[in-house]
Amino acid sequence: MLAAFPRLRAILLRVAQAIPVVIGVVVISFLLTRALPGDPAVYFAGVAADEASIEETRVAMGLDRPLPVQFVHYVGDLMRGDLGQSLSSGRPVATDLANRLPASLELTLTALILAVVIAVPLGVLAATRPGTWVDHLCRVVVTAGVSLPTFFTGILLIYIFYYILGIAPSPLGRLDFIYLSPDHVTGFYLIDAALMGDWETWRGAAKQLILPAATLALFTLAPIARMTRAAMLTALSSDFIRTARAAGLSNRAVLYRYAFRNALLPVVTTLGMVFSFALGANVLVEKVFAWPGIGSYAVEALVVSDYAAVQGFVLAMALLFVALNLVIDLLYTAIDPRIGFDAQ
């Protein structure tokens, strides 16, 4: 029956391929939680625990049972969305993460959109005008972008735009305290404020967002620009472009309808790697700008050795990354008409 819908078949196949990866991620997360320094039972029993209460914790947490049994329980807990209790906030880790996730997503997605909007045209221009200033600019941006530590870029931007020029608000979180945070609809302040029609708050949130997003964008820009340039150069030198030009198509049509659409495929593939970097760099940027997302949550938890929170964060990030990669691959299927029929 599925044979009639090759596109749907390809999509289902790709979704099925994500399953072993998710299983692997869960296994590694489980091993990380069980590899805590010393005895986890001693740790979770608390500071004032004696022998008996440590033993009690061990039994209560199932730590006295063999590892495979513990793993089954761990997976069972995950299925119910239970990532354990955070010691520092006293709430379930899953709740904390869910509360803070929109802040991280808003930052990361804004940065990625910013990076793509700048990097793709830059790469295309550099490829179509080799040797000009655009090409050199592209090269400088690419080399500098991969050498810049994200946390350092962030601090430099704060110094320039907050301290010297005074045009950026103080780098403390998502919204200055003079504004009330908008009603929770999506958790994205920009969208929520726009839904309420509160443009004052929207501007305030946008002002706070622009520096951290720019920091993250600078970092993710480099690989995208590099890949776009290389892919465009490859596409422009291929035979079908020569044919298209020989057939008398306009420069514009050749560039955008033929070369660009083909160059887009390798670019979309690199986006997966870029996401990996962006999610990691996100942690550093959140720390620099005191952004209340899941990255700074993990950093705070690390400082006070709140392991359940850290491990929950690692798992959540990995699952997010797997999901993003899945979305990219599905996008790929949508962009490339050949894929649906090629896949068996």
SS3 250: coil
Least distance (Å) from another protein to the CB of residue 267? 16
Instruction: Please identify, among the stretches 32-40, 52-60, 75-83, 95-103, the one whose residues bind another protein according to the rule CB under 8 A.
Output: 32-40
Measure the CA–CA gap between 167 and 164, rounded to whole angstroms.
9
Q: Which of 11, 103, 193, 288 binds another protein (CB under 8 A)?
A: 288
Nearest Cα residue to 83 out of 311, 292, 283, 294: 311
Least distance from C-beta 274 to another protein, angstroms? 11
Total residues in contact with another protein, by rule CB under 8 A: 54
Residue 151 interacting with another protein (CB under 8 A): yes
Residue corresponding to tokens 């239970």: 82
C-alpha–C-alpha distance, residues 56 and 114, integer Å: 52
Q: Strand, helix or coil at 92? A: strand
- From CA 162, how far away is CA 185, in angstroms rounded? 31
Q: Does residue number 35 form part of the binding site for another protein (CB under 8 A)?
A: yes
If one asks whether residue 28 binds another protein (CB under 8 A), the answer comes out as: yes
- The smaller minimum CB distance to another protein, of residues 151 and 241, is found at 151
**CA–CA distance, 191 with 91 (Å, rounded to integer):** 27
Q: Is residue 276 at the binding interface for another protein, with CB under 8 A as the rule? A: yes
Per DSSP, the residues of 242-309 read HHHHHTT--HHIIIIIIIIHHHHHHHHHHHHHHHHHHHHHHHHHHHHTT--SHHHHHHHHHHTT-HHH
- For another protein, which is the closer residue by CB, 193 or 222? 222
**Which of 275, 291, 297, 332 forms a contact with another protein (CB under 8 A)?**
275
- Output the CA torsion sign for 280, 93, 70, 322: negative
Question: With binding defined as CB under 8 A, does residue 322 bind another protein?
Answer: yes
By CB under 8 A, tell whether 130 contacts another protein: no
Task: Please name which of 266, 220, 246 lies closest in space to residue 113, comparing C-alpha atoms.
Answer: 220
Identify the CA nearest to 99 among candidates 293, 298, 285, 289. Answer: 293
Site string for another protein, 209-248 (x = CB under 8 A): ---------------------x------------------
Interface stretch with another protein, choices 22-30, 57-65, 109-117, 254-262 (CB under 8 A): 22-30
* Rounded Cα distance, 326 and 173, in Å: 31
Interface ranges with another protein (CB under 8 A): 20-21, 24-25, 27-29, 32-33, 35-37, 143-144, 146-152, 155-156, 158-159, 162-163, 170-171, 230, 275-277, 279-281, 283-284, 287-288, 298-299, 302-303, 307, 310-311, 313-314, 317-318, 321-322, 325
